Amino acid sequence: MLHLTAFLLASCLPSAAEIKAGAAEADITPPPGYRMSGYFRERLNTGTRDPLHAKALYVEQGDERAALVFCDLIGVPAEVVAQAREIIERQTRVPGDHVLVAATHSHTGPLYYDVLREHFHRLAVEKHGGDPQEPFDYADQLAKNIAAAVKQAHDAARPARLAAGIAQQTGLSFNRRFHMKNGKVVFNPGRLNPDILRPAGPIDPDVGLLLARDAAGDQPLALLTVFALHLDTLGGSEYSADYPYYLQRALRRDLGDKLVSLFGAGTCGDINHIDVSSARPTSERSETERIGNRLAETVVENVDRLAPIGQPALAVRRQIVDVPLQRYPPQQVEAARRNMAKIGGKELSFLDQVEASKIMALELRGKPSLPLEVQVFRFSPEVALVALPGEVFVELGLEVKRRSPFRTTLVVELANDNPHYVPTRKAFAEGSYEVVNSLVETGGGERLVEAAVELLQRLAPSQAPKR
Ligand SMILES: [Zn+2]
């Protein structure tokens, strides 16, 4: 009798509304011959190794709705995100500010925005009267494709169960900044360089996982993998999603060929795949495949051990942080304008080319500060995802996770805009490539961290001790 009473009481308690989820992908491969992004020279596409996608995960619980989109691109500018959100608001009931649009940071996709695109595009127009590399407006089409993927995921939504957790992966990612014997800090000093003293920063071995299964058939619908490792393992002039292509291929073998494998770049502004203690060459197809397969093994080993989200509590919050941009005196801006003609050549050093294009990127934005968006998605009282703009240094993502009141916190970068690198204060003092290429003033990254932690604290129902 007591048992029955307890059972009746328990069943009368208000239970959380059920989760619905759907996933879809849209092909965003540009036409052949499009300009490619990733390096400081004009590089024209010669074919497709594997197609590029925008992959969408839609989640709803009661009146709360959210969409997370990950694109096989170097970055997605705020203008494209705004256009996609506007279409999504019209076509679904997902509020624009509940939409995350992130880039995986593939270096084998199109160059379709920012200063180098403007530069090469202008040269082409001057020379040909039009730009033969851009047969249509890729940015406009991308916004429509992102919205189409979200609409399709939204329309496919069905009762679902979520699970999340963090696996560990070592041996694939390396901090690429090093203290050298001459007292300087440099990025990518080269394999077996005898002047290396030690890495200038840590890595983040976390593999953040968020799985959505069909509640009826238990079939995995979508799996988000977040890992902090720069997507520049391939090179060449063919389109490719880089190692997440192999990750998805391997995951589909184990979890079903309908699985949508979404990849979120963890904070990896200063992390890449080059192990300077080894002579093994990289930037080969085999290396890309090895990384994707190894990461997939780790994911598959852990996917059945993920903690089920028994008490879902979907919520999305964001904060706009007005981050001051670097400023240059007029004569330096004029020098940079002249130096743009030397981009891709041998006349100007690499870092001088980077600085010239950075200064012109600041001119292009034409304002003293940039409104940058920090987003937090809460899936349960224990699981949250943080989205930060730009190529964020690993220390900043680690700091967000260390201070997060949630047991499981995933942090993705290159979300909702790409204001280039977001280094730490420490890195600004040390210098080298990422700092030369950054737009934000020193301290901008730490301000994003503060905003993320504040949002996490606001969304956390209690200060449960972290596992
Ligand atoms: Zn990068």
3-state SS track over 149-206: HHHHHHHCCEEEEEEEEEEECCCCCEECEEEECCCCEEECCCCCCCCEEEECCCCCCE
Cα distances (angstroms) measured from residue 268 to each of 15, 91, 200, 229: 39, 34, 14, 5
CA of 172 to the centre of ligand 1 (A): 17
Instruction: Report residue 109 as tokens.
Output: 């996709």
Could you tell me if residue 309 is inside a domain?
A: yes
- pLDDT, position 218: 85
Residue 276 within a domain: yes
Asked if residue 343 and residue 196 are part of one domain, the reply reads no
Tens of pLDDT along the chain (467 residues)? 344 443 443 333 345 789 999 999 999 999 999 999 999 999 999 999 999 999 999 999 999 999 999 999 999 999 999 999 999 999 999 999 999 999 999 999 999 999 999 999 999 999 999 999 999 999 999 999 999 999 999 999 999 999 999 999 999 999 999 999 999 999 999 999 999 999 999 999 999 999 999 999 889 999 999 999 999 999 999 999 999 999 999 999 999 999 999 999 999 999 999 999 988 765 555 899 999 999 999 999 999 999 999 999 999 999 999 999 999 999 999 999 999 999 999 999 999 999 999 999 999 999 999 999 999 999 999 999 999 999 999 999 999 999 999 999 999 999 999 999 999 999 999 999 999 999 999 999 999 999 999 999 999 976 555 54
Can you give the pLDDT at residue 284? 53
Ligand 1 centroid to residue 437 C-alpha, Å = 10
pLDDT number for residue 12 = 37
What values do phi and psi take at 449, rounded to 5?
Answer: -60, -45
Query: What are the structure tokens assigned to 343, written together?
Result: 């981009």
Q: What is the pLDDT of residue 280?
A: 73
pLDDT for 461 = 79
Amino acid 133: pLDDT: 95
DSSP class of residue 137 equals -
- For ligand 1, the distance from its centroid to the CA atom of residue 263, given in whole angstroms, is 16
Task: Compute, in angstroms, the gap from residue 390 CA to the centroid of ligand 1.
Answer: 9
| Distance of alpha carbon 465 from alpha carbon 382, whole angstroms | 10
Task: Report residue 283 as tokens.
Answer: 């930037």
What is the structure's pLDDT at 393? 98
Contacts for 32 with CB less than 8 Å, ≥ 6 apart: 45, 46, 47, 48
Given this model, what pLDDT does residue 5 score?
Answer: 40
Please check whether residue 455 lies inside any domain of the structure.
yes
Q: Does a structural domain hold residue 14?
A: no
**139 part of a folded domain:** yes
Neighbours of 141 (CB within 10 A): 14
* Residue 449 is assigned to a structural domain of this protein: yes
For residue 44, what are the β-bridge partners? 35
What pLDDT does 15 receive? 57
Distance 257 CA to ligand 1 centre (A): 30
Instruction: Report CA(310)–ligand 1 centroid distance (Å).
Output: 37
Same domain? For 81 and 206 the reply is yes
Q: How many whole angstroms from 66 Cα to the centroid of ligand 1?
A: 27
Ligand 1 mean position to 429 CA, how many Å? 20
Q: Are residues 282 and 422 located together in one domain of the fold?
A: yes
Spell out the residues 6+ positions from residue 304 whose beta carbon is closer than 8 angstroms to its own.
Answer: none
Q: How far is the CA of 408 from the centre of ligand 1 (A)?
A: 26
Nearest Cα to 201, choosing from 231, 228, 165? 228
What is the 12 CA–ligand 1 centroid distance (Å)? 53
Separation of CA 269 and ligand 1 centre (Å) = 6
Same domain, 58 and 118: yes
- Cβ burial, residue 425 (10 Å; 0-12/13-18/19+): middle
Number of domains in the chain: 2
Are 250 and 127 part of one and the same domain? yes
Strand order in the sheet with 369-380: 315-324, 369-380, 383-387, 408-412
360 and 443 share one domain? no
358 and 388 inside one domain: no
168: Cα within 13 Å, side-chain hemisphere:
1
Of 283, 279, 284, nearest to 194 (Cα)?
A: 279
Q: 344 and 212: one domain?
A: no
Q: What is the DSSP string of 341-374?
A: GGTTSSSS-HHHHHHHHHHHHHHHH-SSEEEEEE
Dihedral over Cα of 179, 183, 185, 190: its sign: negative
User: What is the 363 CA–ligand 1 centroid distance (Å)?
Assistant: 21
How many angstroms separate the alpha carbon of residue 40 from the centre of ligand 1? Answer: 12
On whether residue 451 sits in a domain, the answer given is: yes
Same-domain pairing of 82 and 123: yes
pLDDT at 146: 98
Domain extent at residue 355 = 330-365
**430 and 347: one domain?**
no
28 Cβ contact partners less than 8 Å away, ≥ 6 residues apart: 52, 53, 54, 71, 72, 73, 141, 142, 145
345 and 403 together in one domain: no
Q: How close is the Cα of 391 to the center of ligand 1, in Å?
A: 6
The answer to whether residue 79 is domain-embedded is yes
Distance 166 CA to ligand 1 centre (A): 24
**At which of 338, 365, 392 does a domain end?**
365
Give residue 39 CA to ligand 1 midpoint distance, Å. Answer: 9
- Which domain-ending residue is among 339, 365, 391? 365
Q: 328 CA to middle of ligand 1, Å?
A: 23
Report how far ligand 1's centroid is from the alpha carbon of 2 (Å). Answer: 62
Residue ranges of E strands in 233-306: 238-239, 260-265, 271-272
- Which residues hold their Cβ within 5 A of ligand 1, which is an ion? 391
For residue 36, give the nearest of 65, 7, 73 by alpha carbon: 73
Q: How far does the centroid of ligand 1 lie from the alpha carbon of residue 154, in Å?
A: 31
Q: Cα(230) to centroid of ligand 1, in Å?
A: 6
Q: What is the whole-number distance in angstroms between the Cα of residue 270 and the centre of ligand 1?
A: 8
The CA 409 to ligand 1 mean position distance, Å, reads 23
Distance, CA of 326 to CA of 331 (rounded, Å):
15
Q: Are residues 231 and 200 in the same domain?
A: yes
